[in-house]
Amino acid sequence: MRWRRCGKSWIVRIDKGEEIVAALREFCKAHGIVLGAVSGIGATDKATIGCFKVKNKEYVKKELMGDHEITGLTGNVSTMDGEVYLHLHITLSDADYHTRGGHLNSAVVSGTCEVVIEEIEGQIEREYDDEVGLNLYKL
């Protein structure tokens, strides 16, 4: 992974073979980023995405294998129990130009992944909400 700071933004390149969520979490920890917005594009050949089933309060996961363009990676950085917390969604397009998307659990970069992290001043903590079944912003 390589990066460059531009004002309050970070331009991050995640390299082939690296897992996106883990790489971004470690990057944020290393640079003290506790609040921000994430966007990116790239390519993956192995990804696990999820869809939250509100009625059951659980994520259903699906693994996608093979060449996929990351046509959109978006999300945010906050904290939970004082630790960096990433909430990321992804849209993927396969070789037949069919798209799938959802909550990003993991994705291994097959070519490159180019990410912009807009750092925001302050800190927002998350806490688990029993009624919804998700870790929500504590506002």
pLDDT value at position 91? Answer: 98
DSSP annotation of 121: S
Which structural domain, as residue segments, surrounds residue 15?
A: 2-122
Instruction: With cut-offs at 50, 70 and 90, classify the pLDDT of residue 33.
Output: very high
* Residue 127 within any structural domain of the chain: no
pTM, two decimals, is: 0.95
- Rounded CA separation 127/111 (Å): 35
- Rounded CA separation 61/45 (Å): 16
pLDDT value at position 35? Answer: 98
* Residue 135 within any structural domain of the chain: no
Q: Count structural domains, the chain.
A: 1
* Residue 139 within any structural domain of the chain: no
* Residue 69 within any structural domain of the chain: yes
* Residue 132 within any structural domain of the chain: no
pLDDT in tens, 69-125: 999 999 999 999 999 999 999 999 999 999 999 999 999 999 999 999 999 999 999
User: Using an 8 Å Cβ cutoff, are 135 and 127 in contact?
Assistant: yes
Sole residue written with tokens 């994705």: 107
* Residue 50 within any structural domain of the chain: yes
Q: What is the CATH number of the domain that holds 55?
A: 3.30.1330.80
Instruction: With cut-offs at 50, 70 and 90, classify the pLDDT of residue 10.
Output: very high
Q: What is the dihedral of CA 28, 131, 73, 109, to 10 degrees?
A: 70
pLDDT value at position 11? Answer: 98
pLDDT value at position 123? Answer: 97
* Residue 136 within any structural domain of the chain: no
pLDDT value at position 105? Answer: 98
- Rounded CA separation 111/121 (Å): 32
Structure tokens at 41: 């594009």
